[in-house]
Structure 1
Amino acid sequence: MRMLFATTALVAASAAGAAQAQDVDLALLKAQIQALQARIDVLERQALVPTAPQPVSAPVAAAAPVIQTPPKPAPEPMRWENSPRFTDASGATFKLRGRILLDAVDAVAQRDGLADYHARELRARQLFLGVEGQNGRWGYRLEGGAVSGGAWGWDDAIIDYRLDKQTSLLVGNQKAASLEGLTSFKSITFMERGAYGDVIDAGYVLALQAVRTGTNWSLWGALQGDNINRTDAVGGYDPNQAVERMGATVRATWSPQLSDSDRLHLGAWVRRRDRGGETGFTYSAAANTAFRPQASSGATLFSTGAVGDGDTTLGLEAAWVHRALSLQGEAARIRVDRIGIDVNAALGGPNFDIVTAYASASWFATGETRPYNPNGSFGRIRVAHPLDRGGFGALEFAARYDYADFSDMAANGVAPLAAQTGLATAGTYRAVTLGANWYPYAYVRLSGNLTRARIDNRPIAGAQLDADVTVAQARLQLEF
């Protein structure tokens, strides 16, 4: 009985304690609610108090919106362009470049007064390796290799300083004239530049050059010496006159975009050259190939010999691109200041004029168009449907007519006709070339050319060295 009483008392005490604790919590919660209600009352009274009116001011123009310039994207450390182009954080670039051109050539020369000549050869037309890069305003391009099995030589060897986005100063081995001449050898339509390129001789020479380009125009100016691969100048006709040849070239182009699918190119250039103390300038041409059967057979087909003491050349350029169709042509007139008879009786004589020209057309059966560069040249073909994307590649068909006339070169009246070098082969040259190119990718090209040339020379001492030349060529080209 005592135990039951004690237990009952303990439970009652516990219940009383719990009830007392609950009363304390409720009192605390009630106090917090009252404080919160008082705070709300104060805020409501403040909201009802009227504010003093603000003085009316003149309307203020809206501030110009702040244009946030998007951050310049960081350069890609490495970008693939058929070889890697490396770029560091400062924007400086470096790229390895090169090309391999492998040819098969079959040439037949049917010559009046001489035995017919037949040549067939597999050869490396070009094996080139080089580098290019940019560091701030300074750029460089260096590329060289072996041509047709010859010794190593340099083509591009250029240091470029950019004054601004439109103007560059270039020093080194470079070109300055002709639409076909300034278009890279890798990107010309035909396998060779033909007689026009041979005759005008506007290849690589050491030069100081300024180039300014706009959206559809360009201006060129160059002071030129000799090719970088030549040895030191020696006296051509006087051992005490070891003075290198010099020249100057000015070129201008205009290329309006006639429509979304039409581009016109017009250009003109003029060049003045002087041989200095070197041997005279030679004017010659071969049938669409740097492989010259005339050299291998020991018989010259079309050449004036080294008769030029100096010359002045005026060249005109024109091209029109309409979608897959491209028309292109150039013409040049060369005024040759001939070497004096007192310098060399076999080469000397009166001054004369040379006329040379070509006209060509190409068409892409697969719809591509020739890309045009602002500096007045054509670039690498962009293949719309390459093989690796399930396409056929790009297929191009082309034709060209070449012409050159040396017949204004006259005898000097001093030396016997047969002794006057070049007179017997200073005639006229006409040729037609048919070509086809297949580009499975932008950097790979397979080409075929067929050239039929006719050379008409003047009769000298009862002989006339005319010739019909047929050249068939095929090429596999890869560049990077």
Structure 2
Amino acid sequence: MRNTPRLYVAIAAVLLAGPTYAADTVSNAELLKLIKAQAAEISDLKKRLAAVEHERPPTAATPSVASDTPATPGPNHDAQVEAAIADTRESELAVALARGTGGGGSSSNSVRWGRGGEAGPTFRSDDGYFSFKPNGRLLIDFTRTRGSSYDTRNISGAQITSARLGGEGTIGALGYHVEADFADNEVALRQTYLTYATKLFGHTAKFYLGNFLKDLGTEGSSESARVPFMLRNAATAVGQPVVSYFGMGAQMRVYGDNWHYSLSVNGNAPNSSTSGKNTDSTTYLTRAHWNPIKTSDGFLHVGSWYYYEKISDGVTSINNTPAIALDYNDNLAVSASSIANPTQDHGKGFELGGVFRNFWMMNEYGKRTIDSSTAESVSRHGSSFAAGWMITGEAPGFSSRSGSWKAVKVNHPVTSGGWGAFELAGRVDHYDYADAPRGGKGKSYTLGLNWYLNDWSRLMLNYIHWDTDNKVGSFQGPDTGNSIGMRAQVVF
């Protein structure tokens, strides 16, 4: 029988390879259980082999013309041999799974932890076609402000800045992401969208449909849990449109070796106050970045963005006053008179920075111009200069592929007996509303120390010296003070 040697080889492989491989990754009790299971399977294989040998036709005793040609097994004979070989392969697969590997000699696990710097499991089918990952985050802040000439600005407090729960996955080239955010005593959908990954003109491309984070500058396109400071910078905060960082719509992102380009059309976010009552505000946004220099030591980042927004009739006035120090203290802001009856606005921004080994630097500028049916156009400006140093030698968490902030890969995690990673960063932000009626100005200086315990958890300490000069509101005139913020976060 021609297939019999293959069967013997398969049995020998199970006998010799199984216990050796499994012993590296399983306990003695588990190994004993595995060996017993293999012994039972091999015993069954021997019985099948005996039955196959019994059914094989006897060899002719006298020479003949047909004796030079091996006997052709019958249909039942072939079926039993193939079944025995299939069972042997199943046994080999069981041994491979006991070792923590997939079938076919692959070294990938069907469940993997810590992908993308997030402390959550990723479940994946053996062929990689299906995947699912539960995810979320928890950000807890404590803040304290002193030195203001207004007592109501000198406040302290703690808050859960963000608590998100959700999940994401893929079905071949299709993907999905659902995430709800519990913050400020409200529940809001954040990253909730469908995706399709493909090639476009030979480049990697991804299409989004749903509610997603806009591609607005380096920090506006980054998750708040990934930026180096507890607050996004002035360029993004001042330049953002009415629909803010999230919005329902469609987006395309294309990636090259040293560049990326995005184009999106967005309406209101699901939790917008005007949704369901008026036509959405509609924003057309595009952004691109390029790395003219990119080596093993780092890269130079150049980027820009632009948007046009048709404002909903439900928006009767605009009076955004972004925080200049920390999220908790709503009294620390630059103010201006509200703009009544806005019809449209447009914004633009520029980015220049880069990474060199364990250092990074980023300059950003944002401008927003608002048009009204009853008043003249008003422009607002925001600029930021920031730099950082990974003291322990890790690469900064800024991505050359997307031009946004990602997780830091920690060389010596605390959870593995190391000291984690330390980052020292500084930033100067300017807020200029002087073009608006009774518009104010503000400036903040932030010094931050980040301790990355591992790839998915971080402790942050921010010290901010700020000053404002408001012409309207409860805190008029020059004022200055100091704020301290501390944050503990886990992303899973």
TM-score range, shorter chain: 0.7 to 0.9
Is 1:103 aligned to residue 141 of structure 2?
yes
Is 1:213 aligned to residue 251 of structure 2?
no
Q: Counterpart in 1 of 2:491?
A: 479
CA RMSD of the aligned region, Å? 2.3
Give the deviation of 1:221 after TM superposition. 0.4
Q: What is the SS of the residue equivalent to 2:234?
A: helix
What is the distance in 1 between the residues matched to 2:339 and 2:357? Answer: 44
Is 1:322 aligned to residue 373 of structure 2?
no
* Aligned residue pairs, count: 373
What is the distance in 2 between the residues matched to 1:333 and 1:305? Answer: 17
Give the deviation of 1:446 after TM superposition. 0.5
Task: Kindly indicate which of the two structures has a greater share of residues assigned to helix.
Answer: 2
Q: Counterpart in 1 of 2:373?
A: 340
In 2 relative to 1, CA 458–120 (structure 1 residues): closer, same or farther, beyond 3 Å?
closer
2:175 corresponds to which of 124, 129, 139: 139
Give the deviation of 1:150 after TM superposition. 1.9
Q: What is the SS of the residue equivalent to 2:148?
A: strand
Is 1:374 aligned to residue 391 of structure 2?
no
Conservation of the 8 A alpha-carbon contact between 2:309 and 2:346: yes
Structure 1 residues 385-424: aligned runs within 5 Å: 385-410=412-437, 423=438
String of CA shifts for 1:315-340, please: whole Å, max 9, x gaps: 11122111111101210122221x23
What is the distance in 2 between the residues matched to 1:441 and 1:449? Answer: 20
Conservation of the 8 A alpha-carbon contact between 1:95 and 1:132: yes
Q: What is the SS of the residue equivalent to 1:317?
A: strand
Q: Counterpart in 1 of 2:91?
A: none
What is the distance in 2 between the residues matched to 1:281 and 1:171? Answer: 28
What is the distance in 2 between the residues matched to 1:262 and 1:75? Answer: 30
Q: What is the SS of the residue equivalent to 1:284?
A: coil
Ranges in structure 1 where 5+ consecutive residues have no aligned partner: 1-70, 236-241, 342-348, 411-422
Residue type at the aligned position of 1:334 = R
Is 1:435 aligned to residue 448 of structure 2?
yes
What is the distance in 2 between the residues matched to 1:355 and 1:405? Answer: 5
Q: What is the SS of the residue equivalent to 1:329?
A: strand
Q: What is the SS of the residue equivalent to 1:226?
A: coil
In 2 relative to 1, CA 376–117 (structure 1 residues): closer, same or farther, beyond 3 Å?
closer
Q: Counterpart in 1 of 2:384?
A: 358
Structure 1 residues 277-316: aligned runs within 5 Å: 277-279=313-315, 280-294=317-331, 301-307=334-340, 308-316=342-350
Residue type at the aligned position of 1:264 = L
Give the deviation of 1:264 after TM superposition. 1.1
Structure 1 residues 230-249: aligned runs within 5 Å: 230-233=272-275, 242-249=278-285
Q: What is the SS of the residue equivalent to 1:320?
A: strand
Give the deviation of 1:130 after TM superposition. 1.0
What is the distance in 1 between the residues matched to 2:425 and 2:168? Answer: 32
Q: Counterpart in 1 of 2:299?
A: 263
Give the deviation of 1:390 after TM superposition. 3.3
Is 1:452 aligned to residue 465 of structure 2?
yes
1:204 corresponds to which of 242, 246, 260: 246
Q: What is the SS of the residue equivalent to 2:191?
A: strand
Conservation of the 8 A alpha-carbon contact between 1:161 and 1:169: yes
- Which portions of structure 1, spanning 4 or more consecutive aligned residues, are displaced by more than 4 angstroms? none
Conservation of the 8 A alpha-carbon contact between 1:287 and 1:452: no
Ranges in structure 2 where 5+ consecutive residues have no aligned partner: 1-103
Conservation of the 8 A alpha-carbon contact between 1:74 and 1:89: no
1:156 corresponds to which of 191, 196, 207: 191
Stretch of structure 1 that moved more, 95-104 or 198-207: 198-207
Give the deviation of 1:226 after TM superposition. 0.8
Conservation of the 8 A alpha-carbon contact between 2:464 and 2:483: yes
Give the deviation of 1:291 after TM superposition. 1.6
In 2 relative to 1, CA 301–219 (structure 1 residues): closer, same or farther, beyond 3 Å?
closer
What is the distance in 2 between the residues matched to 1:402 and 1:331? Answer: 10
Residue type at the aligned position of 2:396 = R
Give the deviation of 1:396 after TM superposition. 0.6
Residue type at the aligned position of 1:183 = S
What is the distance in 1 between the residues matched to 2:233 and 2:296? Answer: 31
String of CA shifts for 1:230-283, please: whole Å, max 9, x gaps: 255377xxxxxx222111001111124433212111111110012121213433
Q: Which has the larger radius of gyration?
A: 1
Give the deviation of 1:107 after TM superposition. 2.3
Conservation of the 8 A alpha-carbon contact between 1:193 and 1:288: no
Give the deviation of 1:115 after TM superposition. 5.1
What is the distance in 2 between the residues matched to 1:350 and 1:328? Answer: 33
Q: What is the SS of the residue equivalent to 1:166?
A: strand
What is the distance in 2 between the residues matched to 1:257 and 1:378? Answer: 19
Kindly, what percent of the aligned residue pairs are identical?
Answer: 24
Conservation of the 8 A alpha-carbon contact between 1:222 and 1:248: yes
Q: Counterpart in 2 of 1:179?
A: 218
Structure 1 residues 15-54: aligned runs within 5 Å: none
Conservation of the 8 A alpha-carbon contact between 1:283 and 1:304: no
Calculate the TM-score normalised by the size of structure 2.
0.71
Q: Counterpart in 2 of 1:251?
A: 287
2:410 corresponds to which of 354, 362, 383: 383
Calculate the TM-score normalised by the size of structure 1.
0.73
String of CA shifts for 1:405-460, please: whole Å, max 9, x gaps: 111114xxxxxxxxxxxx3xx21111101110001211110100011111113489
What is the distance in 1 between the residues matched to 2:425 and 2:345? Answer: 33
In 2 relative to 1, CA 154–247 (structure 1 residues): closer, same or farther, beyond 3 Å?
same
Q: What is the SS of the residue equivalent to 2:331?
A: helix
Q: What is the SS of the residue equivalent to 1:123?
A: strand
Q: Counterpart in 2 of 1:467?
A: 479
Q: Counterpart in 2 of 1:228?
A: 270
In 2 relative to 1, CA 304–154 (structure 1 residues): closer, same or farther, beyond 3 Å?
farther
Give the deviation of 1:97 after TM superposition. 0.6
